Amino acid sequence: MKEIFIKKYWDEEDVLFYLHFQNEEAIAQVEITPKGKVFLSLENPKENTSMLYDQSLDELALEERDFITKEEFYRIWNEQ
């Protein structure tokens, strides 16, 4: 099982995303905005206007600095 952890800032919407991918599929996501945090998962894929990332990992145009550790992801995830 291949796990990838991403931290990506979306400037247009002022959102910082933390994503956990398992075998190329997003299984957990945290969105941080000035209004607060939204936690999404396969069990809870939608909340208000937010929804769990459902596109290909390749669509993110990732750079080396976007990859984070499992520990960094879960430090944010465990704040819920």
List pLDDT tens digits, range 6-48. 999 999 889 999 999 999 899 999 999 999 999 999 999 999 9
Max CA pair span of the chain: 35
Sequence-ordered alpha helix ranges (H) in the chain? 70-77
Q: Is residue 56 predicted with pLDDT exceeding 90?
A: no
C-alpha 7/C-alpha 32 separation (Å) is 11
- CA-based R_g, the chain, Å: 12
- Apex CA 45: angle with CA 21 and CA 79, to 5°? 75
C-alpha 41/C-alpha 37 separation (Å) is 13
